[in-house]
Amino acid sequence: MSASTPDFNTRKSTIQSGSTILFRLPNGDAKAVKVDKDCNVSLGRLGVFYANELINEPFGRTYDIVDKKLTLIPPRTLAEVEDTDATNEYINDGEFVQPLTLEEIQSLKQSGAHASEIIKMQIEQHANYSLKTEYSKEKYKKRKEAKYSKIFTTIDPTLFNVCEYWFKKDQTRIRDIRVDALSQILNMANIRPGGRYLAVDDASGLLVSGILERMGGMGRLITICNTDSPPAYPVMVHMNFTNETIAPLSSLNWATADQSHIPVAPPVELPSEQIKSDRQQSRLNKRKAATDLLNSTREDLFAGEFDALIVASEYEPFSILEKLVPFVAGSGSIVIQSPFGQILSEVHTKLRALPGYLCPSLTEVWLRRYQVLPGRTHPTMNTSGSGGFILHAIKVYNDENANAITSHRRPKPTANNSSSNKIIIAADASMEDAEEA
Amino acid sequence: MWSTAREIAAGDTVILWLTRELVQSLVVTPGKDFQSKYGHYRHSDFVGIPYGSKIGSRTGKGFIHILRPTPELWTMALPHRTQILYIADISFIISYLDIRRGSRVIEAGTGSGSFSHSVARSIGPSGRLWSYEFHEARAKKAKEEFAQHGMSDIVTLTHQNVCKDGFNLTDAADSVFLDLPAPWDAVEHAKQALRKDRTTRICCFSPCMEQVLRTVSALNDAGFSDITMYETLVRPHDVNQVPALQSITEVAEKLKKAEGVREIKRLRQIAAGQKSHENPHGEKRKWSQEVGDQGELPVAEAEDSGSGKRLKTDDEMDDGTPSQNADVSRSLDEPATQTVRAGASIPAPPAKISVSKAIPEVRGHTSYLTFATLLPPMPPALPESTLPQGPETT
């Protein structure tokens, strides 16, 4: 039974040598570091440790760095904070409260004192600490921990976590695709194992990563990029995909994806008398493999019948649709993401006039995270302003002979010609009539 | 799950798209008819045509689109037996719970099966969904639906109250989703059902904050970590085409012109008044002659004397001053009056812009999504007495 089958190797469930791992630091930030067997891992201020200590460990565990060695720490639980009647009534700004000087703290750190000792000393010396409310004391300790603690957590490279990491790190490079937007895109595009998809990903490979993960190594994904060479999808590095997971992906660019264009390729075969060395032969073999891949990918694309088209691009979206929608199957989803509502509004207006697109709809994503602590549950004080806009439509085959119930009767269609399977790119108001009716 | 063939075959479950608000599912059964406000169809007409086709009614009036089912379309078409989950929550939960090909997932309760279909799609035939429903009739109906949609190999549906009786599973699931009135009663059972050899996750779906707080403390007591909570929504936008907005320079020009006209009239009135004072009997004849010369219409005069303070609108300007500077005023007024009168549906070549705004009334709350993680147990060699600490952010 399938339930007993282990990991499908989308990625390994433990830390492997050669992986790029995300580490959660005491201040809440994440940092990506490559972990190689028999090498040191450096986490900046937190210090250095030996990579082998992490290899084959499950993700999500928390460690403390003590003398360049890792100590496993149990997961943190939520502590109930005792309510006292302390207030900030007697605490004034600008008062001198901390006799411990920066130099003294520095020398404590250098002497190898543990973060918890430094924080304890600071608390003991703090003039007003006892006046603080329990909540305020908690916050104070947290702040100090973020500063001195050497505790870190390895982050499971799930699509959610990797997306969140990139969104915090540089959201413009992933075209503002927040994790809620990414999740909706993948669902709207009906990504499943075994499906066939077309994607335009100018979002550093975030879309490609999501699609590949949901395909689980089954099906076909063709991406169209703007580069001569295969595109770099840097987000994929953090997903730590296995080779099976990446197998469905191949790429074309806007020239090679053009059906009327014949790519110029150097000769892959030479008469045997012209081949002077093994090196030359192997170069020819490589060249042939590349040309064959290009040709088979083009054939795949032009064969059409893709289940969905997913676009997050820096280019004008309608021009992309004109080029690629002919390769999408009937009833297939078309999903376009943009950081800007205006860009998608323009496309929406164009699509609404075309009978080949059913029900174009423009949506914006909305997400709010909460701090959940006993007695202190509220939405987070800072949050991301926007996670982008999504335009979704379904590709349909128009039938010119079909009339809206509101329109006037046209001449009867010829016998049994109820559907013509061509997409007709022409304004036809009858579809709108029906929707309004 | 559903057919992946290009063309529709007899026995396929299809989605009939009548309008955005009217989406239905149907099992294609030759011999049967489909009647609706949008026409009359025979199921046999659907057989052999490609998915995504527009089909005209046999009467020649009305049409529908016939689509391949997806979990998202199914969510729009399904018969509601309970309150259901929608795409924003469903997709977010699937991402957070790391549900992908081959995942083993627990869901309670099944409800109307909106979430189940989405999970089944994502995990595929190599995955497994254990679904529990405590309402017998709903369980039976859901089971029939899953069978009809070819999901029986993926979904195991059990009629059981999980708060009382648990999941009958140990160390089996990668993730648990609880959509129950009292999820805290199922948290310990969920912990037992989750596998311990890797990181696993749970999501509790509750509309009320009080439920969230009880769930959070139950999760905390059971040893779950990374407890966090989200709220997510979709904001649908309306897109409209509107005329490019007019510059105030044009408005100012019109006002200035009106001001000039008014002043001329005032002076003329004074002059006429003086004349009539000098020659009260010759006034009428002289005035009409002057009107003919100047091209002024009495209408404008009457209006002017009636309410001299009121600012004239474009239309009044057009009607009132069609004389010498008619050409200038036309060219200035034309685009403005045209765009005002033209409805948004008439495509006027000059300057239309597409604008969007959130629709007036939207879904404002569905539920709070409480998530938590269960880590593999600590290796026994380590002292459990270490202070619980971690870089969790507050």
Structure ipTM: 0.85
Instruction: From chain B, pick out residues whose CB is under 8 angstroms from the CB of A10.
Output: 100-102
CA gap A433, A404 in Å, rounded: 6
- pLDDT reported for residue A414: 47
B288 backbone dihedrals φ, ψ, rounded to 5°: -65, -30
**Is A70 in a helix, a strand, or coil?**
strand
SS3 A225: strand
What is the pLDDT, as a whole number, of residue A100?
Answer: 77
- Closest CB to A78 among B60, B227, B239: B227
A62 and A116 assigned to the same domain: no
Q: Do B52 and A342 touch (CB under 8 A)?
A: no
Q: Is A136 part of any domain?
A: yes
Look over chain A and give the mean of its residue pLDDT values, rounded to a whole number: 86
Token code pair at residue B205:
């779906």
pLDDT confidence of residue B345 = 52
A176: in domain = yes
* pLDDT value, residue B349: 55
DSSP string, B225-285: EEEEEEEEEEEEEEEEEEEPPPPHHHHHHHHHHHHHHHHHHHHHHHHHHHHHHH-TTSHHH
| pTM (two decimals) | 0.83
Mutation for A interface: B4, B184, B232, most A CBs within 10 A: B232
Question: Domains of chain B, with CATH numbers?
Answer: 13-69 (3.10.330.20), 75-234+367-374 (3.40.50.150), 245-356 (no CATH)
Which pLDDT score, from 0 to 100, does residue A36 have?
Answer: 95
Report pLDDT for B333.
39
Q: What are phi and psi of A317, to 5 degrees?
A: -65, -35
Do A53 and A172 share a domain, yes or no?
Answer: no
Residue A107 phi/psi, 5-degree rounding, is -70, -30
What pLDDT digit, counting tens, does each position of B24-56 carry?
A: 999 999 999 999 999 999 999 999 999 999 999
Please indicate, yes or no, whether residues A113 and A197 belong to a single structural domain of this protein.
Answer: no
* φ, ψ for residue B191, nearest 5 deg: -60, -40
Q: How many CB atoms lie within 10 A of CB B32?
A: 12
Distances (CA, A) of B31 to A208, B41, B43, B145, B232: 45, 11, 7, 22, 45
Residue B100 is nearest to which of A145, A216, A368, comparing CB atoms? A216
Q: Which of B383, B37, B152, B17 has its CA nearest to residue A361?
A: B17
Least confident of A45-59, A92-106, B331-345: B331-345
Looking at residue A331, its pLDDT comes to 97
Shared domain for A137 and A240, answered yes or no, is: no
Chain A residue closest to B362 (CA)?
A363
Q: Higher model confidence: residue B253 or residue B317?
A: B253
According to DSSP, residue A50 is labeled E
CB within 8 Å: B53 and A421: yes
The nearest CA of chain B is from the CA of A194 a distance in Å of 9
Residue A253 in any domain: the answer is yes
In a domain, A407, yes or no: no
Binding-site residue ranges of B for S-adenosyl-L-methionine = 133, 179
pLDDT, average across residues A293-306: 96
Domain boundary among A377, A396, A415: A396
Query: Would you tell me the crossing angle of helices B248-278 and B298-306 to the nearest 10 degrees?
Result: 90
Name the residue range of residue A61's domain. 2-76
What b/e readout covers B297-312, taking b as 16+ CB neighbours within 10 angstroms?
eeebbebbeeeeeeeb
- Contact call for A187 and B94, based on CB within 8 A: yes
Give the Cα-Cα-Cα angle A100, A101, A104 (nearest 5 degrees): 90
Whether A435 is covered by a domain: the verdict is no
Question: Mean per-residue pLDDT for A387-415?
Answer: 77
Confidence category of residue A401, pLDDT binned at 50, 70, 90: confident
Average pLDDT over residues A364-376: 91
Residue B124 has pLDDT above 60, yes or no: yes
**Residue A196 to chain B, least CA–CA distance (Å):** 11
pLDDT at position B318 over 60: no
Task: Confirm whether A144 is domain-assigned.
Answer: yes
Our count of domains for chain A comes to: 3
pLDDT at A240: 93
The answer to whether position A344 is within a domain reads: yes
Q: Which of B61, B234, B368 lies at the smallest CB-CB distance from A363? A: B234
Of A21-35, A212-226, A271-285, B190-204, which gets the smallest average pLDDT?
A271-285
**Which residue reads 């008062």 in tokens?**
A95
Name residue B9's amino acid: A
Checking if the pLDDT of B317 tops 50, the result is no
DSSP A163-181: HHHHHHHHTTTTTT--HHH
Residues A143 and A168 in one domain: no
- A282, A337: one domain: yes
Q: What are phi and psi of B76, to 5 degrees?
A: -80, -25
The domain boundary residue, chosen from A128, A149, A170: A149
Higher pLDDT residue, B392 or B103? B103
Same domain, A62 and A191: no
A216 in the same domain as A127: no
Question: pLDDT (tens digit, 9 = 90+) per residue, B192-219?
Answer: 999 999 999 999 999 999 999 999 999 9
- Report the DSSP beta bridge partners of residue B237: A362, B358
Judge contact between B10 and B29, C-beta under 8 A.
yes
Same domain, A295 and A330: yes
The mean pLDDT of A9-28, rounded to a whole number, is 90
Where residue B381 falls among pLDDT bands split at 50, 70, 90?
low
State in Å, rounded, how far the first CA of chain B is from the last one.
43
At A91 the pLDDT is 73
Q: Are strands A306-312 and B200-206 parallel, antiparallel or unpaired?
A: unpaired
Lowest-confidence region among A12-21, B106-115, B158-167, B328-337 = B328-337
B94, B217, B389 ranked by CB distance to A183: nearest = B94
Q: What is the pLDDT of residue A69?
A: 92
Are A203 and A129 members of one domain? no
- For chain A, the 3-state helix, strand and coil shares in percent, each to the nearest 5, are 35, 20, 45
Highest average pLDDT, of A96-110, B234-248, B282-296, comes from B234-248
Res. A170 pLDDT band, cuts 50 70 90: very high
Residue A393 makes CB contacts below 8 A (sequence gap 6+) with: A333, A334, A351, A357, A358, A359, A360, A361
Chain B interface, mutation test: which of A9, A21, A78, most B Cβ atoms within 10 Å? A78
Q: Which two tokens stand for residue B64?
A: 């529908």
Mean pLDDT over each residue of chain B, to the nearest integer:
84
pLDDT at residue B285 greater than cutoff 60: no
**Is the distance from CB of A49 to CB of A42 less than 8 angstroms?**
no
CATH number at residue A300: 3.40.50.150
Q: Which of A131-140, A383-392, B58-67, B221-230 is least confident? A: A131-140
Higher per-residue confidence, A105 vs B81: B81
A179 lies in some domain: yes
Q: How many CA atoms lie within 13 A of B316 on its CB side?
A: 16
B217–chain A Cβ distance below 8 A for any pair? yes
Q: What is the band of B284 on the pLDDT scale with cuts at 50, 70, 90?
A: low
**Can you tell me the distance from the alpha carbon of B272 to that of B278, in angstroms, rounded to the nearest whole number?**
10
pLDDT at A436 over 70: no
| Minimal C-alpha gap between A127 and chain B (Å) | 24
What percent of chain B clears pLDDT 90, i.e. is strictly above it? 70
Portion of chain A with pLDDT greater than 70, in percent = 89
The pLDDT of B314-326, averaged and rounded, is: 42
In which band, very low, low, confident or very high, does the pLDDT at A133 lie, cut at 50, 70 and 90? confident
Q: Rounded to the nearest 5°, which phi and psi values hold at B343?
A: -75, 160
> Which residues 272-301 of B are in CB contact (within 8 Å) with A?
none
pLDDT of residue A84: 67
Contact call for residues B220 and B369 (beta carbons, < 8 A): no
Going by C-beta distance under 8 Å and a sequence separation of 6 or more, which residues neighbour residue B137? none
For residue B295, give the amino acid letter.
Answer: G
> Bridge partners of A153?
A24, A62
Quickly state the pLDDT bin for A134 (edges 50, 70, 90): confident
For residue B5, the chain A residues in CB contact (below 8 A) are none
Does the pLDDT value for residue A244 go beyond 70?
A: yes
**Whole-angstrom Cα distance, residue A230 to residue A251?**
6
Please measure the distance between the N-terminal and C-terminal CA atoms of chain A and give it in whole angstroms: 51
Task: List C-alpha distances in Å: A137 to A107, A142, A143.
Answer: 25, 9, 10
Dihedral sign for Cα atoms in the order B166, B171, B173, B177: positive
Q: Which residues of B are annotated as a binding site?
A: 133, 179
Substitution target in B14, B46, B54 with the highest count of A β-carbons within 10 Å is B54
Q: How many CB pairs under 8 A join A and B?
A: 319
Helix (H/G/I), strand (E/B), else coil: A64: strand
Scanning every residue of chain A, which has its alpha carbon at the shortest distance from the alpha carbon of B216?
A372
Cβ burial of A382 (10 Å; 0-12, 13-18, 19+) is exposed
Q: Which amino acid is at A79?
A: A
Mark whether A196 and A138 lie in a shared domain: no
Mean per-residue pLDDT for A279-307? 93
The mean pLDDT value for A348-364 works out to: 96
Same domain flag for A323 and A258 = yes
- Mean pLDDT for B154-183 is 97
* Tokens, residue B79: 């018969």
Single-letter residue type at A225: C
Sequence-ordered alpha helix ranges (H) in A22-111: 102-110
